[in-house]
């Protein structure tokens, strides 16, 4: 094998199926044989060239990559060919910048973004720093693990970083790709869970996933009737809808922004001051934090609801995801 298939994007020209030359991994790098890759809304960053200085430069999207180590570069000792591994949006910290030296590996100043600033997983082969690799549990198939490498760890960290005791009231805004995982994790962590959505079409599903209640109208008022939420995970990318949730927080409650939208969030300063509420954001996690999330998912039965599509349909999969037609995550199966 001297080449591999991949779907790359180059500015407005859209997707193109190409043959890339297989190269040896560099120092500290690992080459992965991709078995599955989740299709995430953040893939739009690559497709529309939003993070690159030259939006017309070709890039392979995809940052929920699950596969097998194919080769390792010089200086890599913890990984061997044949090991099951994955990589998410963060391609591996440098361990040398000021952020890394203080243990803030998520915000490493010299960390490539998989499928956004470096090539990703809409391909048969992908590359990553060994420092960014995640060990995959034997209990999860590649397709089951892939969405947990971004969507899963993001909501899991959003829940665990707030440090709530079991039994806390947690609300999840949105019952979609992120929200359906957030509800399961929050329930498994022992919280009281209120799911918030538009209309009642997903009410029954939210309850099946572990929500104690589903709210579609006046969510802030509904939460205050229960004493206010200790945390609200805002997973639907709608700044206006997120703004309306702040009034549903209990004193010291946190609105955790997870869904990335283009419109701003408006804050009533009185609501923030009186009650000492907070607005915060969260973005994925480190490799070891992701392994913790995967292990927890295995033990507590948290699973992503996936639609499997072959790699050959990557452009169609991206279109479906952007149109909101995914129920709830689309995963590309490279073997198919």
Cα(176)–Cα(179) distance, rounded to whole angstroms?
5
Residue labelled with tokens 């707030």 = 162
The DSSP string of 250-270 is EEEEEEEE-S--SSPPP--HH
Question: Do 55 and 93 fall within a single domain?
Answer: yes
pLDDT in tens, 195-219: 999 999 999 999 999 999 999 999 9
Domain that residue 140 falls in? 3-150+285-333
Is-cis flag, bond preceding 328, omega within 30?
Answer: yes
- Under 8 Å between Cβ of 212 and 195: no
Question: Do 127 and 224 fall within a single domain?
Answer: no
pLDDT value at position 234? 97
Q: What is the mean pLDDT of residues 44-66?
A: 91
pLDDT value at position 260? 83
CATH of the domain at 210: 3.40.50.720
pTM of the model: 0.96
pLDDT in tens, 236-251: 988 999 999 999 999 9
Tell me: pLDDT of 13 over 90.
no
Q: What is the mean pLDDT of residues 84-101?
A: 98
β-bridge mates for residue 209, sequence order: none
Tell me: pLDDT of 188 over 90.
yes
Question: Do 101 and 196 fall within a single domain?
Answer: no
Number of structural domains found in the chain:
2
Q: How confident is the model at residue 104 (pLDDT cuts 50, 70, 90)?
A: very high
- Under 8 Å between Cβ of 284 and 153: yes
Tell me: pLDDT of 3 over 80.
yes
Q: What is the mean pLDDT of residues 85-112?
A: 98
Pair of tokens at residue 166: 């079991």
Question: Do 23 and 144 fall within a single domain?
Answer: yes
């Amino acid at each position: 094998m001297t080449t591999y298939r991949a779907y790359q994007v180059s500015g407005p020209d859209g997707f193109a199926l190409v043959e890339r030359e297989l190269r040896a991994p560099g120092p500290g790098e690992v080459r992965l044989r991709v078995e599955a890759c989740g299709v995430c809304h953040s893939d739009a960053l690559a497709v529309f060239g939003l993070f690159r200085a030259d939006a017309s430069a070709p890039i392979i999207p995809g940052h929920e990559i699950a596969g097998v180590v194919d080769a390792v570069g010089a200086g890599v000792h913890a990984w061997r060919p044949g090991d099951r591994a994955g990589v998410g949006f963060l391609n591996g910290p440098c361990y040398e910048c000021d952020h890394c030296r203080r243990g803030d590996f998520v915000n490493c100043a010299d960390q490539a973004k998989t499928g956004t600033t470096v090539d990703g997983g809409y391909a048969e082969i992908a590359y990553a720093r060994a420092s960014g690799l995640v060990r995959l549990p034997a209990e999860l198939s590649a397709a089951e693990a892939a969405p947990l490498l971004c969507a899963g760890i993001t909501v899991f960290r959003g829940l665990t970083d707030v440090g709530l005791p079991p039994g806390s009231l947690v609300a999840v805004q949105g019952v979609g790709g992120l929200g359906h995982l957030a509800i399961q994790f929050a329930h498994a962590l022992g919280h009281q869970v209120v799911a918030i959505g538009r209309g009642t079409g997903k009410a029954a599903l939210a309850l099946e996933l572990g929500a104690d209640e589903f709210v579609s109208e006046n969510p802030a008022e509904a939460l205050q009737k229960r004493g206010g939420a200790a945390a609200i995970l805002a997973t639907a990318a709608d700044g206006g809808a997120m703004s309306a949730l702040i009034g549903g927080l209990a004193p010291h409650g946190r609105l955790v922004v997870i869904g990335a939208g283009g419109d701003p969030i408006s804050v009533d300063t009185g609501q923030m001051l009186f009650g000492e509420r907070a607005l915060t954001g969260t973005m994925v996690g480190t490799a070891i934090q992701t392994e913790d999330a995967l292990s927890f998912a295995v033990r507590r039965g948290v699973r992503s609801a996936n639609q499997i599509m072959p790699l050959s349909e990557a452009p169609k999969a991206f279109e479906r995801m952007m149109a909101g037609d995914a129920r709830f995550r689309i995963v590309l199966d490279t073997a198919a």
